[in-house]
Structure 1
Amino acid sequence: MKKNDTPQDKSALASKNHKELCYAVNEDGEYVTTKSSGWQPKTIALNNALQDIDERVALAKKRVLNNEASPIEYYMEVHRMDVSILASYVKLFKWQVKNHFKLKKFNKLSNKILKRYADVFEISIEQLKHIDDTK
């Protein structure tokens, strides 16, 4: 794309002080960097991805409130993690983290393991045990 054609569409992430760095071709045919406030197709894709995340968070919260899953699943979704990432942060195997999604297993976890999860989510153990059902 030519430098003068760099998209400047409105974006949820862009503001007056925040623009994305892009490459474009200048008048001499050379690649140069330029700033863009957004590009509509990219904004649509980003909004769709964020909507999917919100839906996964809502589903995880519903499962926790219905005693079908542990709060670990909910907080993992809130923090936009997957099992692999969470497992690496808490220094456990993926199968162990998945096992901790089960309420019976979660209720038997030691404070030491709960502290690892709480530290990753930057909350207290008490907050980890009880999600806020008003949000």
Structure 2
Amino acid sequence: MKARTGKERPNIQIADFTAAFKDTFDATLSRELDFDEMTRVGGIPEVKPMVLYRSMKNAKRAYMALAVNEMEIDSRGMFPQHESQVIRMVERLRDVRDVSISFQEHDRGFQRAHAKNMTEIDGWLEGMRKERDASAIQLAERLRRQE
């Protein structure tokens, strides 16, 4: 396939988890997920950034459900450290609730706290995504050489 520049794009293979693994991971409660155990899978170090990224994506989903819809925390598919980050962020939102201030002041405080939380989550995800992509490429290359 050619890029817009007219040059041929390199064919880069990227490793990914199977759909069955993703479904199982996403359905598992955080207290049942052990990061050390999960990242020892076959002694493949490239798996660590991949499962961390998936866990953080699930943590972001849980945070959004809590922040926007005020739903119960859904701690499935994330490691306990990510669950505790979500809980801390939700507490930050709850801290802006003050009955002595007007609704508008409360709303502005909530928006600022939510924006800060989202910036924090997106920053973590950006770094994790880069590590995940690099690891997925390395793993695909390693698996291709083993064939």
User: What is the TM-score when the length of structure 2 is the normalising length?
Assistant: 0.27
More strand by share: 1
> Which one has a bigger Cα radius of gyration?
1
Structure with greater helix percent: 2
Structure with larger RCO (C-alpha < 8 A, sep 6+): 2
